[in-house]
Amino acid sequence: MQHLFEQILANSTYTIIAIAILVVLVYSIVKKILKLIIFVVIVLVAYLAYVNYTGGDVKQAVEKTIESGTEAAKDVKKSIEENKQLQDAKKKLEKEIKK
């Protein structure tokens, strides 16, 4: 792997190609994230418009949505931490098995 990096950095043509690929990759990732953000905002605005149209309390709907989003984020964080703990335990077991 180190040899590959040295070859890319030694040859300016390879370096330019690698930079171009990296730029295209970053651009596509940013583009997808922006599309996702725009989609979420549109869905949220449509939901709030629906709540307002049906006579519901928009402020209460926003608070409820924020609360459920916060709970979902906590659940995701907890599952990530559990997964990290499982990975750590797996690594420890692999070390013990190698001994």
Indicate if the pLDDT at residue 83 is higher than 90. Answer: no
Which string of b and e fits 69-94 if b means at least 16 CB within 10 Å?
eeeeeeeeeeeeeeeeeeeeeeeeee
User: Could you report the per-residue pLDDT of 12-21, keeping only the tens digit for each?
Assistant: 898 899 899 9
Indicate if the pLDDT at residue 99 is higher than 70. Answer: no
> What is the reported pLDDT for 29?
93
Which pTM does this prediction carry? 0.55
Cα–Cα distance measured from residue 72 to residue 69, given in angstroms and rounded to the nearest whole number? 5
Average pLDDT taken over every residue of the chain: 86
> What is the reported pLDDT for 73?
87
